[in-house]
Structure 1
Amino acid sequence: MMIQKTIDRKKLDERVVHMPWFVQQFIDYKLPDLSPSTLLEYVRDYEQFFNWLRAEGLSEAGGNAEVTLLELERLRMESIVGYRIHLTTRTEGTNARITVSRKMSSLRSLFHYLSQIAEDENFYPLLKRNIMAKVEIKRIHKPKDTAAKLKGKILEEDELLEFIGYIAEGYGADIQNNKQALHSYEQNKERDACIASLILNSGLRVSEVVNLNLDDLDLANKLLYVYRKGNNDETFKTPVYFREQSKDDLTHYLTLRQTRYKTPKREKALFVTIPNGQKEGKRMTKRAIQAMIIKYAKRFGKPYLTVHKLRHSFATDYYLQNDIYKTKEQLGHASTETTEVYAHLTDKTMSEAIERRNEASTGL
């Protein structure tokens, strides 16, 4: 099992035992089809919902594990509306529309399972009345809307190379008066530039980068073997190509990996760090990589840039030279609908259509 998946599965197991028995049954039912990370988000959504039910007096349970099916059956539409208002207006951190939509979808999935799939000892549905069946969840995440939000917030054209170069050299000049920051930078600049280069030249997700091992790398053929998101077959790794620049950056980093980070031979991770207070190199975490990119992005003058926007940057650049189907495969998308974002970002589809019309009219 890949590293992040193992961590999420452990967290899931720890939290699901504090859920009602019917939620535990639902999670078991979904486990073969959904990743532990997705199911962990489900459990967090249910924790929030049950906490709200109890706070509003809609459940008499002393803890979330004691919430009953009967209490769910008795919920009225006004209660669900009230919960949505709570999610969008609570003072300790309001949720974006897409987050509210996801949380409501999590509830719909649970209620659907309880009312349509799960059975009691008499073969009747566990939940006799499904209030969530009345709730319409509008699609928020449209490719065109996503593209509009990304406009101007990703790296384009020469900026891809400039950002990698800034991490490799430019950042040091900007922090030369900060001895502590400079020391850390000198220790990690080759590794950090290599990670940015790999994402900008392959489109890998941060979780895929974290999970990379040394033996997943085929430098000669510019290939990586990765566990793709949504693929629950833990015996299969998908081959993903990367560009020539990353080959050079990876080659350079590998000459430093063992000696600079005092990496023991038992550590198989491709990208390593020496945690504070420790003496040996260990696998970098997703959070560490995310924080690292944000640090460089701010100094580079792109404070909105994140790891995921590096992936968007690669995808947009790649789509300009390839069709939507090749882009879908390179990024590991489940469908071309997700990949449509890059068509809207580049306006490639429209511009090509205009060119074809011109060619037809001129007889070319």
Structure 2
Amino acid sequence: MSQKIFHNDDDVLFLDYLKNHYENTLGEGSKSKIYFKRDKERDYSIISLFLGSGIRVNELTNLKLKDLDFESNRISVIRKGDKSDVVPVTPESMIDVREYLNVRCQRYNATDDENEFVFVTKTQNTSTPLSNRTVETLVKKYTKAFKSNKSMSPHKLRHTYATNLMAQEKDIHLLMSQLGHTSTTTAALYDNPELDKAQHAAAKMGKRRK
């Protein structure tokens, strides 16, 4: 199982590949290149968010604009069992999300209403939310392009983040809190010292990309 995740700094190298090199592998004028140019900021921010927070695919696809807190570098998600949770995110990943939001309305004919979904596509000139399957497909496509023997799922990106967090902090309670394996409510989390600890850990992990 551990062979199916990124090790060492491979996740950082993967982000660099997607941002700076993947486009060059696509045929000039091809549909693949045209769509990638449209979706680059969106897709990159999706990958970055998985690797910068450890959230699940359905937690990502259900994100709404009101769930993003750029001041604190946190996002609000709905965990299993419909429990609300607050998740610290690496500051670099939140920057990537903001860069996507700068082009989101224009590229996908979307609005900036706070109740709109963050990650969308354009269908018949109308903005529609990305499905779990679409996100799983794009993660598989990009990871396979990066390493042909390593087609990965969003869950493997989550596992990559968890492995890196555990290696850095060596704190199982912090890990469980970050991944949502607790039953604490949103209100309790705001008063939970684990959240501040996780925030500090996320900032430290983001520095690996510099």
* TM-score where L is the length of structure 2: 0.81
Alignment of 1:1-364 (within 5 A): 150-177=1-28, 179-230=30-81, 232-233=82-83, 237-265=84-112, 268-275=116-123, 278-301=124-147, 302-322=149-169, 323-334=171-182
Structure 2 gaps of 5+ residues are 184-210
Partner residue in 1 for 2:201:
none
Q: Is the 8 A contact 1:210 1:285 kept in 2?
A: yes
Of structures 1 and 2, the larger Rg is shown by: 1
State the one-letter code of the partner of 2:109: K
Offset, 1:334? 4.4
Take 1:285 and 1:169, find their aligned partners in 2: how far apart are those partners?
26
Take 1:244 and 1:331, find their aligned partners in 2: how far apart are those partners?
17
Offset, 1:264? 3.3
What fraction of aligned residue pairs are identical, expressed as a percent?
34
**Residues 295-337 of structure 1: CA distance to partner in whole angstroms, max 9, x if unpaired?**
11111114331111000000000111220110000001249xx
| Structure with more strand by fraction | 2
SS class of match (1:201): helix
Q: Is the 8 A contact 2:108 2:121 kept in 1?
A: yes
Offset, 1:265? 4.7
Take 2:172 and 2:31, find their aligned partners in 1: how far apart are those partners?
45
Take 2:78 and 2:129, find their aligned partners in 1: how far apart are those partners?
16
Offset, 1:178? 6.2
SS class of match (1:239): strand
Take 1:253 and 1:317, find their aligned partners in 2: how far apart are those partners?
25
Take 1:174 and 1:265, find their aligned partners in 2: how far apart are those partners?
33
Take 2:32 and 2:107, find their aligned partners in 1: how far apart are those partners?
17
Higher RCO structure, 1 or 2 (CA under 8 Å, sep 6+): 2
State the one-letter code of the partner of 1:182: K
Q: Is the 8 A contact 1:194 1:246 kept in 2?
A: yes
Take 2:151 and 2:94, find their aligned partners in 1: how far apart are those partners?
28
State the one-letter code of the partner of 1:159: D
**Residues 144-164 of structure 1: CA distance to partner in whole angstroms, max 9, x if unpaired?**
xxxxxx122101221111112
Equivalenced residue count is 180
